[in-house]
Structure 1
């Protein structure tokens, strides 16, 4: 299929629209049928595959030419790098959890939190767990039952308790160096994780501090519950600390995650939670847990290459640029695109992958620092993911209340998420560290 430079063809965007509509439509339909976690029942990779079929049917060129283009997209070095990181991150999270790392983290925190600051403490606990494990859902699942029990015993507002847990989970997910969203955002924008973390932290930290202050003021319990001394082992928390510290000082992410897996494995072997055989099995379980996002990343990489070759990215860029007047409006455009996509597909990682190439093109054209565009993608996808009532985080969160709390009770009290949106928008309109994004552009048009 010959490259069609400067040729805008809106029809080439139809395969991507089919992908989104199939994924969105299935979620809406299953939601009307009362299916639990409706937006997560139809596999995203299958929706992408349907979009790819439409691309082969609609776009010009021979089958062999289109297939070669598709394979080039799937095998893009940035896509493959992203996929390998997914596998290692999954293995680290699984092995660390199996040896009791998550439980020890929760119990250590609960043991030393003053009863007057339970809600604020839950925000900090969920923040750390999500930051360490790279998953907001995992943090909510780990802390949710404990949070509900403490809220009921202390006479706390259950919606506020759940909202604090949600905010902390999204804080960590947004910043974690092993989160799916961070991996996708940094690899599509061509920047280092530690650099994106620093830029992201400047925006997220003020929102987190203000939230913590509000929770300390308004989250005091009516009665003081007896906080028991929970069992924990500090050694089992060390792998999380190792990964966080090494990532932030700039050690290669492959080395970081491998060392994290190795340390967790040694601890598990020492305490008898693992044998060499079960350690290998748990590593593989971690790999398998990333199968969906691994396949989806490869398929969307191929679909993006087909769309780009046919002029789809050029078409979308031309339409988008009519609303863009400079660097600030370009950042707002990236934020709007990823937000709308996440609202449609209810998956922040998918939203970033879909919009990664467009954001990269916009950042290069308007000279936006790649770590800045990566932060915008991650932040706004997490903001929307945190407040949509049909997102996995919200649905799992309110399920712990046994029908006492609805998503619409939690959303207004999700102070961190609202403050993060305000801080992110303000950051677009104030002086920031900019660098021309032209040195190592992501090549989507090989």
Structure 2
């Protein structure tokens, strides 16, 4: 099943991607045999609440967790996921690819959860837990503020000013994909935030590149890939910190050892964007760019807005603070240039209202994703996957394969690399610890596959965020979504291939001595098996 998921998932066709997830989950639940009655699962050596195995005086103890009971057992528990994926496959097959179409898939998943949950109070609790998830709350604010930023830059005519500059320096549209990639590499590496890079660069680079005649899907893929680069490598990235701490290893040691993997994947990405950039440049400069004049040349001053976002983030301000301060500066400039009036700002069809409207579609879909994940999690589905995979860790290679498969599958199911890393990290540490595999190596493929697979899932919050930014910029229709551009995220594809090659071939395999582990304060456990 794992080989099937990993190989097939890299397809450029979203329909194939959905089929992979659906087929993989079906194969898993056909082969999984729970060891307890419905409502309780054997979680020997594993506690979901703390994500770690329990010991009592050095002796492993059995831990069980009470799960919501469902009609049909595990098959019923996974039904919301199957319904959501199956409905999306059906919609994509018949050309219904709008994010609004996918609302129905999410709603049907909720209905399925309601029907299979025996205790409706447990269903209600799971639903509410999904809605009030902290990550979901963060994404709502992120989407709304990014929408306002996009509308400010559109109203400022900064894009027209930059197009004018590009005509004067004869910038080739073929170079824009690689330029977008490098800009986002720098932004994400400097700030440690993929969201920061997306929300800073997206509102500017997407309309600029499309105005030059570039393929919007290729540009979005390049922006996403560059943002993924820093998210995977930066020492202050949440994924780097989560992967390092969960493996009990120093962050900077992990970053130093991760360079070779990131640079190889980055080099593959550079080649990809150069090749595709020149292939797509065959149509020449767009009519919009050819007709641009110096009317809005003075709007180049609005570059201060995205620059201010970056400066504030580098000085330690959070993403929201950076966006809000920069947006206030943007309003002042728009008023000063006469591009906006107070009435136009607050009107029902004004800048703020349009900005929020443009993000609503993605926010509602993300809501259903979080609810669906909460429903299957409370029913024990995610823990079942982890326990099932752990049974096959008989050697260090099989343990690494199980660990890699674990984070890959969780990245697909949860639709978030960060969440997959945080969820799987502690149990992967317990899985690999008896083999004394280098902790930095484990942190590297945990993060590499989390970011690699995670950013290839069209329902990933970052992908949805970027699609919403593209819609808000006005260069694509409202139905545009991540289905169209995840196939151009070459860096995530390269990361996935590089780390699976390292796992399967043993490239970079290192072991740590008892002395090295003790020096870092790591408790040494006896045993030479992953069981």
Does TM, scored on the shorter chain, surpass 0.5?
yes
**Residues 207, 416 of structure 1: 8 Å contact kept:** yes
Q: Does 1:20 align with 2:85?
A: yes
| Per-residue Cα deviation, 1:20-51 (whole angstroms, up to 9, x for no partner) | 111221111x23xxxxxx32265323311110
- Give the structure-1-normalised TM-score: 0.63
Could you say what secondary structure the match of 2:143 adopts?
Answer: helix
Q: 1:413 to 1:260 in 2, by over 3 A?
A: closer
**Match of residue 365 from structure 2:** 296
CA distance in 2: counterparts of 1:361 and 1:319, whole angstroms? 15
The Cα of 1:14 is off from its aligned counterpart by: 1.0
Q: TM-score, normalization: structure 2? A: 0.55
Shift of 1:381: 4.2
Q: Counterparts of 2:502 and 2:301 in 1: how far apart (Å)?
A: 39
Map 1:393-412 to 2 at 5 A.
none
The aligned residue for residue 283 of structure 1 is 352
Find 1:308's aligned residue among 377, 389, 397.
Answer: 377
Partner of 2:425: 363
Out of 330, 337, 354, the residue aligned to residue 403 of structure 2 is: 330
For the residue of structure 2 that corresponds to 1:60, the secondary structure is coil
* Alpha carbons of structure 1 residues 206 and 134: separation in structure 2 relative to 1, 3 Å: farther
Match of 2:135 among 78, 82, 92: 78
Correspondence for 1:439 = none
1:352 and 2:415 matched:
yes
Question: Shift in Å at residue 422 of structure 1?
Answer: 4.5
Shift of 1:234: 2.9
Distance 1:294 1:187 in 2: 27
Aligned to 1:321: 390
Alignment map for 1:423-438 (pairs within 5 Å): 423=498, 425=500, 430=508
Is 1:170 matched with 2:239?
no
Partner secondary structure for residue 330 of structure 1: helix
Seen in structure 2, the aligned counterparts of structure 1 residues 111 and 414 have a Cα distance that, compared at 3 Å, is: farther
Between the aligned partners of 1:176 and 1:106, the Cα distance in structure 2 is: 28
Computed over aligned residues only, the root mean square deviation of the Cα atoms, in angstroms, reads 5.1
User: Are the equivalent residues in 1 in contact too, given 2:180–2:226 (CA < 8 A)?
Assistant: no
Other-structure match for 1:54:
112
Alpha-carbon shift at residue 95 of structure 1 (Å): 1.9
| Runs (5+) with no aligned partner, structure 2 | 1-38, 42-63, 68-72, 185-195, 232-236, 246-250, 430-438, 459-463, 476-484, 511-519, 521-531
**For residues 163-220 of structure 1, what are the alpha-carbon distances to aligned partners after superposition, in whole Å with 9 as ceiling and x for unaligned?**
964653433454699xxxxx998999999xxx9xx99998666655565578779959
1:272 is aligned, of 323, 331, 338, to: 338
Contact 1:132-1:172 at 8 Å conserved across structures:
no
SS of structure 1 residue aligned to 2:97: helix
CA contact (8 A) 2:99 2:365 kept: no
Rounded to whole Å, the distance in 2 between the matches of 1:412 and 1:310 is: 33
Secondary structure of 1:18's partner?
Answer: helix
- 8 A Cα contact 1:90 1:289, kept in partner: yes
Residue range with higher mean Cα deviation, 65-74 or 166-175 = 166-175
Q: 2:327 aligns with which of 254, 261, 266?
A: 261
- Bigger drift between 411-420 and 361-370 goes to 411-420
Give the Å deviation of 1:53. 0.8
- Distance in 2 (alpha carbons) for counterparts of 1:103 and 1:185: 37
Q: Deviations over 1:396-439 (max 9, x none)?
A: 9xxx9xxxxxxxxx99998767655545656876589xxx9xxx
- Shift in alpha-carbon separation, 1:78–1:143, aligned structure 2, 3 A: closer
Q: How does 1:152-191 map to 2 (within 5 A)?
A: 165=219, 168-172=222-226, 174=228
CA drift of 1:131 comes to: 4.2
C-alpha distance 111-83 of structure 1, shift in aligned 2 (>3 A): same
C-alpha distance in 2 between matches for 1:185 and 1:286: 29
The 8 Å contact of residues 95 and 283 in structure 1, kept in 2 or not, is answered as no
Task: Sort the Cα spacing of 1:284 and 1:3 in 2 relative to 1 into closer, same or farther, 3 A.
Answer: farther
Corresponding residue to 2:452 among 365, 370, 379? 379
1:440 is aligned to none
1:247 match: 313
CA contact (8 A) 2:103 2:365 kept: yes
